[in-house]
């Protein structure tokens, strides 16, 4: 019988993580490398990716590459896939983690530019990356795509409505791609609730105490990362099209 550890072993695999230099993306990158994968960290800021890649190499001994990529631009998405294949020779796992949720004073103040940028980063780019990656995976040894959405896509807040709309689209994309690229490629989504990241540094103190969360606190990125490893690995070989909430039990608007 294959052991649980063996099922989660990603040795010989290559994983790309967008938004991989900080927060949840950084924790996922670390966990994937810890499970044996070579990784590509992508974000708009190359210096941040290079620093994170150096930390991953030092702590895991795995190969870690940095690529500058604005996922809202399809040319950058194409280049990220091309760079990954050129440098590492394969692509087995894609984690669509990059996202943005810009603030606005009121709904009628949302500009066309803000709306378009929000949709581009949170939905348009992940669509392009997933299709490119899945096409390659299906033609080779198969693979796994993990989309990082938000619990807010299910209980949308007036304060982040364009973001919630885009992430709701990512849920639909997850299910559609799971069907389109089966059986060679599995596609699943994780919906985080409130997590302690750079974003929460701007939150008021009464939100940071986590009193509104049934588990009584905000999540830590390292508490979500193992699920991403699970969905990326053979341990979840019969799981596709799944949308999994990791939100401390929240059932109402945040």
Q: What is the pTM of this model?
A: 0.95
Measured between alpha carbons, how far is residue 218 from residues 63, 206, 207, 209, 248 in Å? 32, 12, 9, 7, 8
CA 180 vs. chain centroid, Å, equals 20
pLDDT at res. 197: 83
Instruction: State the CATH class of domain 4-246.
Output: alpha beta
d(CA 49, CA 166): 25
- Whether residue 183 is preceded by a cis peptide bond, meaning omega within 30 degrees of 0, is yes
pLDDT at res. 207: 72
Of 115, 163, 181, 238, the active-site residue reads: 163
pLDDT at res. 198: 77
Strand-strand pairing, 14-18 and 64-68:
unpaired
For the chain, give every domain's residue range: 4-246
Residue closest to 15 by CA, chosen among 150, 184, 177, 146: 146
Query: pLDDT per residue over 94-116, tens digit each?
Result: 999 999 998 899 999 999 999 99
Region 127-152 average pLDDT:
97
Helix (H) or strand (E) holding 39: strand 38-43
Region 61-82 average pLDDT:
98
115 is catalytic: no
Strand-strand pairing, 143-148 and 93-96:
parallel
Query: pLDDT per residue over 176-233, tens digit each?
Result: 999 999 999 999 999 999 998 877 766 677 678 888 899 999 999 999 999 999 999 9
- Split at pLDDT 50, 70, 90, the class of 167 is very high
pLDDT at res. 202: 65
pLDDT at res. 254: 45
pLDDT at res. 210: 84
pLDDT at res. 71: 97
pLDDT at res. 252: 59
pLDDT above 90 as % of the chain: 87
pLDDT at res. 155: 85
Taking residue 198's Cβ as centre, other Cβ atoms within 10 Å add up to 8
pLDDT at res. 79: 98
Residue 123, pLDDT above cutoff 80? yes
Provide the 3-class DSSP secondary structure of residue 186. Answer: strand
Residue 250, pLDDT above cutoff 90? no
């Amino acid at each position: 019988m294959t052991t649980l550890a063996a099922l989660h072993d990603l040795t010989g695999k290559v994983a790309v993580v967008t938004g991989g230099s900080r927060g949840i993306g950084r924790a996922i990158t670390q966990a994937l490398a810890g499970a044996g994968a070579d990784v590509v960290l992508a974000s708009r800021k190359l210096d941040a990716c290079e620093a994170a890649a150096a930390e991953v190499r030092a702590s895991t001994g795995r190969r870690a590459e940095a690529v500058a990529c604005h996922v809202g631009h399809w040319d950058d998405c194409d280049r990220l896939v091309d760079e990954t294949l050129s440098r590492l020779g394969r692509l087995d796992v894609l984690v669509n983690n990059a996202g943005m949720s810009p603030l606005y004073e009121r709904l009628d103040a949302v500009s066309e530019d803000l709306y378009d940028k929000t949709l581009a980063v949170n939905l348009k780019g992940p669509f392009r990356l997933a299709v490119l990656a899945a096409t390659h995976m299906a033609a080779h040894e198969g693979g796994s795509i993990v989309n990082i959405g938000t619990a807010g896509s299910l209980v949308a807040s007036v304060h982040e409505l364009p973001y919630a709309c885009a992430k709701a689209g990512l849920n639909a994309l997850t299910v559609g791609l799971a069907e389109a690229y089966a059986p060679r490629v599995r596609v699943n989504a994780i919906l985080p609730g409130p997590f302690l990241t750079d974003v929460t540094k701007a939150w008021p103190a009464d939100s940071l105490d986590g009193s509104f969360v049934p588990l009584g606190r905000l999540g830590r990125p390292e508490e979500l990362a193992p699920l991403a490893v699970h969905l990326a690995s053979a341990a979840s070989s019969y799981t596709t099209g799944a949308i999994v909430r990791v939100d401390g039990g929240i059932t109402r608007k945040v």
